Amino acid sequence: MEIALDARMPTYSGGLGVLAGDTLRTAADLGIPMVAVCLLHRRGYFRQTLAPDGEQHEAPEDWPVEELLEPLPGQVTVAVAGRDVRLRGWRYEVRGCRGHTVPVIFLDSRIEDNDEAARAFTDQLYGGDARYRLAQEMLLGLGGVRMLRMLGFGAIRRFHMNEGHAALLTLELLEEQHRGNGHNGVGEHEIEAVREQCVFTTHTPVPAGHDQFPLELAAELLGRGRAPKLRDVFAIDVYRQVLRSDDRFSLPRDALDHDLMLNMTYVALNLSGHVNGVAHRHGEISRLMFAEYSVDAITNGVHAATWIAAPMAAVLDRHVAGWQADNYSLRYALAIPLAEIAEAHAASKRDLLEHVATSTGRRLEPARFTLGFARRATAYKRPDLLFTDLERLRAIARRHGGLQVLYAGKAHPADEGGKALIRDVHAAAETLREDGIEVVWLPDYGTALAAKLVSGVDVWLNTPLPPNEASGTSGMKAAMNGVPSLSTLDGWWIEGHLEGITGWSIGDSGAGAGGAGTSDDEALRARDAASLYDKLEHAVLPCYLEGGDAFLTIRRHAIALNGAFFNSQRMLQQYLQRAYA
């Protein structure tokens, strides 16, 4: 549904799209034959502006499609609620470090032959009501396969669905099986043939990440003749007790209750031969959520050449030959002189703070310790955890010469709680300025701003409520730039964390599988906040401010130990071995 390919193309909302873009860049680097399909999203996700009090305002983010993409000949049609919706394709090419290219096909319904409602189907990412969203997923799944076939991609061995947005491609593959076998029934042979072609990656245990639609609406839009087939093939009524007797995960269970609902996650689960989560802990959580299925775990990674800033890349070029083509060789960063790492980071920090001054008018101090926090603004990410005890935070800042915190992130337009969190951070910032604590929320978070943040702050702050962070990738990008994380133990950080070596932990990992924390109760929040303050006061700030080699050594470890593993080359090679083979 979303892919981040170019800062000028707002065809993504956050981490899912950024991961897709990194995956395609890596496939191009490695010469892997791959093609991607996405909706065009002519109006983007949204452009965010913030009022002085932090009130978020959204506006469409139109972009020059004709300048950046190549129009493709031909059209395909998808019947939506009994009327044909025509789709055309636009092509973008991702070029790898050795010249190999991976095509990306964008589907566009803004065609003169369509009525105005149909033209709008591919305009807005994650917009509209359930009817609009289901129509989008029909165009992506059914239309995507038809577009690929029309363009000559007839021998695709694996179809990889990231989340359930494209799950209806399985229905199109089933119909191809029917036509090939000369009958219209759904049998075990057809189902197994489709499963052999399909890979499904679930990216979140959070309810909003699992699309589901009333079966009546699905029957109307897909066609009533398909409704019995959906019920039989996708087992809509079969798995009523998703988590059996385990009541600890009642929230995900409620979200995935699919009685009389077409649940896209279950569509993909039922018709995929390989299913995986995106970190080891997320795999454990997914096996509890989807106990009837075999769920693997392949930990996410990021594209090193995209996310390592120019000053640090120049250092790596001098000391680690071929690191872009072989990310594992980042392990040899252990031999880089600490002074060069310090100089590279200082250059990135100056660049970041200049951007802050230009975009907000706020001038921050290059010598002052700076935390970074940038991700979608939503409740489980807990961007306000740092401000749980303002007096404790003030005392820490006084004792250690002040503190700077840079925030960025958008709240989904329908997420009122997320919008309130942005306002809450602004309110806290106003009360803290005279105490030597500068807090700035940078507007309109996107990949260009993300690149500046992950390379320019001193420590990357991450405070998700376990076990809700499936993986997270921003900390991986920071690590590659020598920026260590201070994070709760969830997602990738459980695997990447070595206390005082690659960064620092907040709290413990007991609030995940087998633990007690699926709601942010006051006691858990107080414990995590106290742990955050303790680590800042007694570990992170003293190490940073002493000015010796200790903090620089942690920077070097972040590159060599985290960067060498949490990259998209390793990730894609694991998909090749375990999912695509």
Mean pLDDT, each 10-residue run in order, the chain (581 residues): 96 97 99 98 97 98 97 98 98 97 99 97 95 98 98 97 96 88 73 95 85 88 70 47 38 44 89 97 95 96 99 99 97 98 99 98 97 98 98 98 98 97 98 96 98 99 96 98 99 98 88 44 93 98 96 99 99 98 92
**pLDDT (0 to 100) of residue 279:** 98
Longest Cα–Cα distance in the chain: 77
Q: What angle do CA 117, 119, 124 make, to 5 degrees?
A: 90
CATH of domain 157-301+569-581: 3.40.50.2000
**pLDDT (0 to 100) of residue 206:** 80
Q: Which amino acid is at 541?
A: L
Which residue shows structure tokens 């109006």?
43
**pLDDT (0 to 100) of residue 503:** 99
Nearest one of 528, 542, 471, 563 to 500, comparing CA atoms = 542
Burial class (CB in 10 A: 0-12, 13-18, 19+), 439: buried
391-439: per-residue pLDDT in tens? 999 999 999 999 999 999 999 999 999 999 999 999 999 999 999 999 9
Asked if 2 and 16 touch (Cβ cutoff 8 Å), the reply is yes
**pLDDT (0 to 100) of residue 466:** 94
Nearest one of 451, 457, 504 to 304, comparing CA atoms = 451
**pLDDT (0 to 100) of residue 241:** 36
- What's the CA gap between 425 and 98, in Å, rounded? 45
Residue spans per domain, the chain: 1-153, 157-301+569-581, 345-559
- Cis preceding linkage at 207, omega within 30: no
Q: Do domains 157-301+569-581 and 345-559 have the same CATH topology?
A: yes
Q: In what order do the strands lie in the sheet with 101-108?
A: 36-39, 101-108, 83-95, 70-80
The CATH classification of domain 345-559, taken from the options 3.40.50.1220, 3.90.1150.10, 3.40.50.2000, 3.20.20.70: 3.40.50.2000
**pLDDT (0 to 100) of residue 518:** 46
Distance set, CA 239 to CA 164, 244, 269, 515, 581 (Å): 17, 10, 12, 25, 29
| Residues forming beta bridges with residue 78, ordered by sequence position | 85
Asked if 479 and 485 touch (Cβ cutoff 8 Å), the reply is yes
Asked if 125 and 1 touch (Cβ cutoff 8 Å), the reply is yes
**This prediction's pTM:** 0.93
Q: What angle do CA 496, 501, 506 make, to 5 degrees?
A: 65
Cα atoms found within 13 Å of the Cα of residue 319, Cβ hemisphere only: 20
276-322: per-residue pLDDT in tens? 999 999 999 999 999 989 999 999 999 999 999 999 999 999 999 99
- What's the CA gap between 30 and 551, in Å, rounded? 34
**pLDDT (0 to 100) of residue 184:** 61
- What's the CA gap between 45 and 226, in Å, rounded? 32
